[in-house]
Amino acid sequence: MYSQIDSNKRNSVILMMLFITIIIGIGYGLEYLWGDGSYIIVWGAIILSLLMTSVSYFKGDKIALTSTGAKPISKETDRSIYNMVENLCIASGIPMPKVYIIEDMAINAFATGRKPELSSIALTRGAIQKLENEELEGVIAHELSHVKNYDIRFMTLVAVLVGTIALISDIFIRAQFFGGKRESKNSHPAFLIVGIVLAILSPLIAELIKLAISRKREYLADASASLLTRYPDGLASALEKINKEKIPLKKASTATAHLFIASPFSGKQKLKSLFSTHPPIEERIKKLRGMI
Task: Give the CA dihedral 78, 80, 84, 90, nearest 10 degrees.
Answer: 80
Q: What is the mean pLDDT of residues 119-125?
A: 96
Q: Name the residue type at position 234.
A: G
Strands, sheet with 98-102, edge to edge from the N-terminal-most edge strand: 71-72, 98-102, 120-124, 109-112
Which distant-in-sequence residues (6+ apart) come within 8 Å of 3 by Cβ? none
The confidence band for 188, taking pLDDT boundaries of 50, 70 and 90, is low
pLDDT, tens only, 198-232 = 667 777 777 777 787 788 889 989 999 999 999 99
- Give the residue, 13 or 98, on which the prediction is more confident: 98
pLDDT of residue 100: 97
Closest CA to 146 of 6, 261, 11: 261
- b/e per residue, 247-267, with b = 16+ CB within 10 A? bbbeebeeebbbbbbbbbbbe
**Cα 23 from Cα 184, distance rounded (Å):** 22
pLDDT of residue 37: 55
pLDDT score of 271 more than 50 = no
Beta bridge partners of 102: 124
The confidence band for 119, taking pLDDT boundaries of 50, 70 and 90, is very high
pLDDT of residue 27: 67
* Other beta carbons within 10 Å of 66: 10
143 in catalytic set: yes
pTM for the whole structure: 0.79
**Cα 145 from Cα 162, distance rounded (Å):** 24
Instruction: Say which of 143, 207, 218, 283 is annotated catalytic.
Output: 143
Q: What is the distance in angstroms between the CA of the first residue and the CA of the last residue of the chain?
A: 7
Q: Which of 63-72, 76-85, 105-114, 197-206 has the lowest mean pLDDT?
A: 197-206
CB-count burial class (<10 Å; 0-12, 13-18, 19+) for 161:
buried
Name the CA radius of gyration of the chain, rounded. Answer: 21
pLDDT of residue 127: 96
Segment (H or E) for 12: helix 2-34
* Other beta carbons within 10 Å of 219: 21
pLDDT score of 269 more than 50 = no
* Other beta carbons within 10 Å of 27: 19
